[in-house]
Structure formats: structure tokens, C-alpha cells
Amino acid sequence: MNGIERVKGRGRGVVCNPVDLPYRFQDFARGPWRAVFREAADPSIVRFRDRYYLFASMSGGYWHSDDLVSWQFHAEPLLPAGDYAPDVREVDGALYVTASSKKASPILRSTAPLTDGFERVANGAFPYWDPNVFQDDDGRVYLYWGCSNSEPVRGVQVDPATLQPIGEPVELLGGDPGSHGWERPGESNRTTAPATLREKLSARLFGTHSQTPYIEGAWMTKRDGRYYLQYAGPGTEYNVYADGYYTGPTPLGPFESSPDSPFSSKPGGFITGAGHGSTFQDGHGNWWHAATMRISVNHHFERRIGIFPAGFDDDGALFCNQNFGDYPTVVPDRRIDPWNDAHAGWMLQSYRASAEATSSAPGHGPALAVDEDIRTWWAAAGNEPGESLTIDLVSARLVHAVQVNVAEHKVARAKPRRLRHDPDYSAAAFRSIDASDHPVTYLLEASFDGTSWSVLHDGRAESADAPHRLVVLPEAAKYRHFRITGQQTPWNSVFAVSGLRVFGLDQRPAPLAVEPVVRRTEPRSALVRWEPIAGADGYNVRYGRHPERLYHSWQVWGENELDLSTLNAGEHYWVAVDAYNAGGVTAGIPLAVPPLSSTDAHSLTAEETAP
């Protein structure tokens, strides 16, 4: 059982972010610094001839699916494994692919990718980063690109056959962190100076800890005669990595910033980040948005992919439903309401469950597998098969699904170093991509009483590489105890689990309602506080520019305040705080955010008002 079972009467199946793909390992070495980690990011998804094609950074090929649930990998030799942000779009009945390159990127074309492969039709006329190709209704084709903390996103009309420029490039948009709170760099939009040696090396080599946002990842969507130019910021390694958009009357503008940006933002929850993505429709007309989610522990480019229900409201505002955006979501078999019909309705049962293990590495105890943070994990003390993690929910719950998220714990110590005579090894080629599967295999069991165990998934003899497997039970059942026992790991590394997440229903009542207090602390931020609610596991802070259109959300575990740092200056907002636990959600009543008072404005420090 791997999440592709039909949900009776609800749709084709259930998925849970991060998307379960065989993310490829990178062996990164520069000077004394080496990291081995999984990555796929910057997803570009299109529907072509009743099949979905997913291209992502650092993959050596692409994934395809006929249902948005089960994905298969297809290697593509003409697409270099180490390319960032490969873009795929349909032009004149064929798929075109081009990617980021410091040189002229190859431009690939295919009318039958799975059977005939791609052919190289041209090279890019100039180096570009984060490209996006768009064909308008009149047949004209445009190229957008840009990935910089100092240069704007640009666009130009191109020849439909070869993507060569027609005319001169146009500057379209750039960063504006002085007005857009969500574009400010830093964790929760607050920067700190690099402290550790790793952070200092990262800042020197890759520009992390920048004081200006990286504006990148263009994607164009046309709807009802309007052009939606989407873009990402402020940086892929932050929890606030998000997508905003500008709108304009033509493919090259002029463009105006949307006050509803960011439309894709997931700064809280088990896995955070929702930037640099693509917006597309399924076969039933439902809109979806795919985006980059971050881990950024073993390396700041340690990233995953998320897919979220999306849409446009009656006023043309683009939105994503990212409430509980890493809980199980139904993939529908019909047109649905993305706000009321998308989520499976199962609540997390395993938050801070009692946990024990056969052994634990220092600083990686079993409680870290149930703390709802993909950036922390339990790791066994040794690498022998048979190490196990067991959690106890204290009471039996009606269980529908279990998501198993494995982690990469010190894999660089286990994987042999690349040889000096390796053709990929040079001062420039400091990154090697392994475009093959490296499965983590295990036995997943559940028990009602802790004595008699049922097998939920036995992967000890399989070869599927599924680091974020969602096991959906064919029929919901009551369980209290869960045990996962490791068998095989990449390069015989340590078995590690970042999230053993149990989803279902509990008989306990949902928490009481929250009555927050909100204060605008500066033009781009507000402080939201509330009294802790007995029995609540966490809170979901929803906000937006209208009390009935709270399109944005920020999930908070175990806290009773939030610095809401993602607002746009000059815009009025409403906020509601929902309380939730394993039994359900109690929606909060929307509260208007008061304007910034003169006292608060005069008391701001220089640090608070800096971009």
C-alpha cells in the first residue's frame, strides 16, 4: 500500500506533502566541505496528452503520471543531471525543455517523450537562469528568466521553433522588500549573521544570509485575458520561501504587483517553504500549484516538492489552499471546491507521542521523530539492520494512513568519496548527481494492545525508493502502537526517521475557540497573540485582505504567538486563529488587524524597519 488506493467516493487517491519521489542524491564537495543529500526542487509540471510531466532540479530526467498520485521516473540523457530549474511547456503541440545554464542551455523538443525521447533543436541564445517558456493564444511565444538578488526578472518574445529572441529583452519585476514583508530574507523574514563555520562557508560560496532577496523562478499563467507573472523569493533555504505574482494586460506587461501576494506560502508545519513553482490544471479543470519545500540541514539546497490545490476567485485573485498543507489531500476525479473538498479530513494523531528506540545516536533521540519538524530526526546509534522505533499514542485511534519520512543522517560518512580520476571531479564539477534509486527499506507494523502486531507495509524485499511514503490503510482500523524496523539503507548508512506521522480520527473533542489579540507592529508585520487553549496541539493562523478570503495560513505547533512577518505595506488584513488537536479543528472568528499606531511607528528600531 503506497498511497494510490482509491478513497471511496472522494477521488482517485490520497497524497501527502512532501511528494513521495525517489529524490536523487548529490555528492557535494568543495574544499574541506562535503555533503551528501537528496534534492529535487523548482518543479515544472504540465499536462500533455492526458499525462502529467514533472521536471525538477538535479534529477537527470523527469517524472510522469496519469493521476497526480503515482509518479514514474524516466531518465533523459540529453538533460544534464546537474541542471537547475528545467522548464517544460507545450509549444505548438510539442514539449519544450530548457534549463538554467551559465553557458547556452540546450533546447529540447519532443512530441512523444516516453517513446521517442527528446531531440536537441537549438541552444539558448544567451545564458539564463530559471527559464520559463509561455505560448499565448495567438501562437506567440515568450521566454522569462531571472535568479538574482540584484537583477530583475526579464522577458522577451522568442521564435516558436528554436526559442531564439525576437526583439530586445524587457525588465519586468524586481524585489521590493521595503513594501513586501514576505520578500525580506531570513528565517521568518529576519536575518541573522552567520554564526557556525558551515553558515560562514555557505554565505561566502552561495550568497546565503543575503540582506536582499533572491527574486527568481518565473512562471506565466493566462486567465480571462490577464497575464499572471509568478515569481519566488526571498531565498530557497528559508521557511518563508514563497511565490507571489504580478498581473498585466500583455505577456510583457506593464505588470502591477498583486496585494494578495504571496499566493503560495507555507512558513509553518512539518515541512515549510512553497516557492519557485508552477501552476497548472488537471483533466477536470482543477488548478494546482507545485512548489519547492525546504529541509536545508545537510545542505541549504536539501529540498523537496509539494503540490497544493489552487485556483482563482471571482475577482481574479490567484490563491493556494495550504491550510494543513502537509496533511493528506484527496486527488479528485471531478471538479471540486479547492477549499472544502480537497483535504482528506484526517487529523495528525502522533504529535509528541511517547517514543522509544532500540538505540539512538547522540542528539537524535526518538522524540524527534514525532515533533512535527522534518529538520530533526531520530537516528539509530549503529548501522546494523533491525534497529527500530516504536511510538505509543496512549489511546487507540481510528487510523487511516501513516506517512514515513526517512532522513539522511551523516550519509557522507557512509558513501565512498568520488575518485580523483572521476571525469566529473574537477574544481568546477564539485557536485555529482546519482540519478539512480537508493531505497530505504523497512517493516511498518501497528498494534491495538502492544502485543499483537499487524503489518501495514513490508518493504524489506522491495526496490522502490520512497523516502516519504504514505501508507493508506484499505480500511480504517483502531491502533495505538506503531513500530518501524529498518532493514536496508543507502551505502549502509544509519537508519533515521524524521517523521513517523499517523493520520486518522480521535474521539476527543476539538479545542475551544481562540480569541486572539492583534497589533500591527510595522507596515509589513503584525503580532498575533492568544491565550493557550487546553487540549490544543497547535494553531493555524489564517489571514487575508477580506474576512471571507483568508487565503494565507501559518501553522504553529505548541506556541501562543506569531510574528506575522509576511504582510504587504499599505494593505488592510484580517486574521483568524484556529485551534486544533487530534480530534478536529475549531475555526476562529476573523479579526481586523488595526492600523499601525503612531506610537508603534515612532518606537520602531532601525533593525525592524530595515529591508
Which residue in 71, 12, 11 sits closest to 45, CA to CA? 71
The pLDDT, as a whole number, for residue 226 is 98
pLDDT band at 550 (very low <50, low <70, confident <90, very high): very high
- How many beta carbons lie within 10 A of that of residue 449, not counting itself? 10
Which residue in 69, 55, 74 sits closest to 17, CA to CA? 69
The pLDDT, as a whole number, for residue 206 is 59
Calpha distance 586→577 (Å, rounded): 9
The pLDDT, as a whole number, for residue 426 is 42
| pLDDT tens digits for range 446-493 | 999 999 999 999 988 877 999 999 999 999 999 999 999 999 999 999
For residue 204, give the H/E element and its range. Answer: helix 197-206
Calpha distance 242→235 (Å, rounded): 9
What is the share, in percent, of the chain residues with pLDDT greater than 90?
84
Give the dihedral of Cα atoms 260, 266, 268, 272; nearest 10 deg. Answer: -150
| pLDDT tens digits for range 87-111 | 999 999 999 999 998 888 999 999 9
In this structure, of 1-5, 322-326, 421-425, the range with the lowest mean pLDDT score is: 1-5
The pLDDT, as a whole number, for residue 598 is 58
How far is residue 13 from each of residues 8, 70, 550, measured CA to CA in Å?
9, 9, 27
The pLDDT, as a whole number, for residue 229 is 99
The pLDDT, as a whole number, for residue 259 is 98
Domains in the chain, ordered, with CATH? 94-331 (2.115.10.20), 347-505 (2.60.120.260), 517-609 (2.60.40.10)
Give φ, ψ of 198 to 5 degrees. Answer: -60, -45
| pLDDT tens digits for range 386-405 | 999 999 999 999 999 999 99
| pLDDT tens digits for range 413-436 | 999 987 655 555 444 456 788 889
Helix H segments across 90-192? 113-116
The pLDDT, as a whole number, for residue 191 is 84
Asked if 130 and 105 count as a contact pair (C-beta separation under 8 A), the reply is no
The pLDDT, as a whole number, for residue 102 is 85
| Strand spans (E) along 267-387 | 272-281, 287-294, 303-312, 318-320, 329-331, 347-348, 354-357, 378-379
Give φ, ψ of 369 to 5 degrees. Answer: -85, -5
Average pLDDT, the chain: 92
| pLDDT tens digits for range 16-43 | 999 999 999 999 887 778 899 999 999 9
The pLDDT, as a whole number, for residue 383 is 96
Asked if 291 and 243 count as a contact pair (C-beta separation under 8 A), the reply is yes
The pLDDT, as a whole number, for residue 461 is 80
Using the structure block, give the residue that is written with the C-alpha cell 487529523: 347
| pLDDT tens digits for range 119-136 | 999 999 999 999 999 999
